[in-house]
Amino acid sequence: MGGVLWTPWRRCAGGSQNSRGQGSGEAQGGKKLSTEDISLLYLGTIVNKLGGIRGEIARLEQRMEEMNRRIDETNNRIDATNQRIDALADSLSRRIDETNKRIDALSARIDDVQKTLLEIQRLLMELLKTDTGRS
């Protein structure tokens, strides 16, 4: 290869011979290609394919970055929604606690009224006994 720029489309004019004195291949017009030339052509083909693969990898990396960005945005929205749900749950819990306290206070008042009614009933019974005893 020594100092000559090679492209996969370069053709060799001379061509070398292998150990049996035969050429290793022929290009258009009957020009023989050496084993080195054929190897260079294969390498050129491989380099071209690698370039295509690298391009595809770059496109896939861009798509992955976009997907990761979208996943991050979705996670941020989920986190914000979870925070709103937590705030709402805390608010509802406080309201339930306040309602339970009011229910407990009402139950205590009902118990007091019931005790008062029982006391009134007891007094009325005593009053009736004393009234019936006088008659």
Closest by CA to 13, choosing from 1, 26, 28, 31, is: 31
Do 18 and 38 touch, CB atoms closer than 8 A?
no
* Residues 29-44 pLDDT 10s: 667 888 888 888 888 8
pTM (predicted TM-score): 0.49
* Integer Cα distance of 54 and 51 in angstroms: 5
pLDDT at 70 over 80: yes
Percentage of residues of the chain with pLDDT beyond 90: 54
Instruction: Output the pLDDT for position 30.
Output: 65
Q: How many CA atoms lie within 13 A of 19 on its CB side?
A: 0
Instruction: Output the pLDDT for position 103.
Output: 98
Instruction: Output the pLDDT for position 96.
Output: 98
Instruction: State the pLDDT confidence band at 14, using cuts at 50, 70 and 90.
Output: very low
Average pLDDT over residues 44-48: 86
Element (H, E) at 73: helix 35-134
Instruction: Output the pLDDT for position 47.
Output: 86
